[in-house]
Amino acid sequence: MKKHAAGFDLSLVKMRRARAADKATVLDFCRHTFGRWGDYMPEVWERWIRERSGLFAVAEVRGVPVGVGKITVQRSGELWLEGLRVDPHWRGCGVGRVIQDWTWRKAMAMRPRSIRYATGSYNKISQHLGRSKSMRIVAEFDEFTARPLPARETQLVCASNRDLEPLLQLFERDAAARHWHGLLLEGWVAKAFDRDSLARLVRQKRVYAYTDERGLAGALVYLQSKDKKYFNYCRVAARDRATFRLVLHEGRRLAAVLGAKKMEMHLPHALRPRRLAAGTGWRLAMPIWMVVLEWRRAAR
């Protein structure tokens, strides 16, 4: 199909809810969204189509899908935008703008407290679309990879409800806390990280702690994929740098104990994280980094 030129009549772009029947067309134009890496759209399609909260939308021209966008309700009042895609043949004609404007109106109608999304540091178009809605970059993260360290045990211990207060203090007082902007990361999805979410994560046994003779000294929150292939650190905190490194390293044993094959994590870009992770077996995954944009309702 030939590329469509700018100057195209945008009134022909119609927005509607995505339907199961859109799958083949949408997955076809998403095949190479992020170059060789491809796209995560095939993995999320079925779930996104079924989801009743939020909104998974399609932009169509004369009945053919040419783009998609999604609003996800993470918690009441906290919206996450994701999955913005335009068929490469239709890029540069204003379709992305139509999807963004429509999605934004729908999101605002949900009366949110906050709206966020993540994109690559290189993705100037995506950042421009966010800024045009008075969103701003609030956090930036480098991505790291590591291999699990074959082991039967680890010095990290699964946290319990009793640890909630000290854990909260540890995460709040960690030297990097302000660079996290009150968030944790599940891959490239940022979520609010506060007392409620920490309590839920502890209940889900996704928080592990390191204790020394002075008490709680380090902790990590993780997410493991259902197929156990991936093990991600969602957030790490420690009393000091040496303990931070110890937790980064020890978490690799934990991943092995839990049967993971690959590991990923993000650390705040502002921290010169390459140095912070030195000697822990973690290495920078790519030269670009992740930026998180946010809009917040003004306090009255």
In the complex, the residues that contact ligand COA under the rule CB under 6 A are 33, 84-86, 91-97, 119, 123-126, 128-129, 132
Smallest distance, ligand COA to C-beta of residue 65, A: 13
Q: Which of 190, 198, 123, 188 is nearest to 159 (CA)?
A: 198
| Position with the least CB separation from ligand COA | 96
- Taking the least distance from each CB to ligand COA, the nearer of 260 and 292 is 292
- Taking the least distance from each CB to ligand COA, the nearer of 34 and 205 is 34
- Taking the least distance from each CB to ligand COA, the nearer of 72 and 280 is 72
Pair type for strands 55-61 and 207-212: unpaired
Smallest distance, ligand COA to C-beta of residue 265, A: 20
Taking every pair of Cα atoms in the chain, the longest distance, rounded to a whole number of angstroms, is: 69
156 close to 247: Cβ distance less than 8 angstroms: yes
- Taking the least distance from each CB to ligand COA, the nearer of 121 and 123 is 123
Smallest distance, ligand COA to C-beta of residue 3, A: 11
Smallest distance, ligand COA to C-beta of residue 97, A: 4
Smallest distance, ligand COA to C-beta of residue 30, A: 8
- Taking the least distance from each CB to ligand COA, the nearer of 119 and 232 is 119
Smallest distance, ligand COA to C-beta of residue 293, A: 10
- Taking the least distance from each CB to ligand COA, the nearer of 4 and 261 is 4
